[in-house]
Amino acid sequence: MPTVLRRNGLRFYHYSHEPNEPPHVHIDRGGASAKIWLHDISLASNTGFSPHELGELLRLVRTHRLALMEAWDDFFGTGTGG
């Protein structure tokens, strides 16, 4: 599970066993976890983050989308093109 970004106590990472899913990122902090699709910056799942925190996660993913897509492509050897 390579960590691709750390911000504000959040860990952004990819699971190595999910290469056949559309590009996405998992985000954890403490006991909370979320999964966000990278193409349209939408929430796939959430356990434990408040609505306010989810807004911050979506903002961070939007800000770092290109780097997150590049990390996905590098890790899975895909050419999603960001």
Structure confidence by residue, pLDDT tens digits, 2-59 = 899 999 999 999 988 887 899 999 999 999 999 999 999 999 999 999 999 999 999 9
Determine which helix (DSSP H) or strand (DSSP E) holds 63, and give its type and residue range. Answer: helix 51-63
Convert the pLDDT of each residue in 3-16 to its tens digit. 999 999 999 999 88
pTM: 0.90
Question: Which residues, other chains included, contact 54 with Cβ-Cβ below 8 Å and sequence gap of 6+?
Answer: 34, 43, 46
Q: Provide the 3-class DSSP secondary structure of residue 15.
A: coil
Of 10, 5, 68, nearest to 39 by C-alpha is 68
Count of residues in the chain? 82
The residue assigned the tokens 């800000």 is 63
- Quote the tokens at residue 49: 């983050």
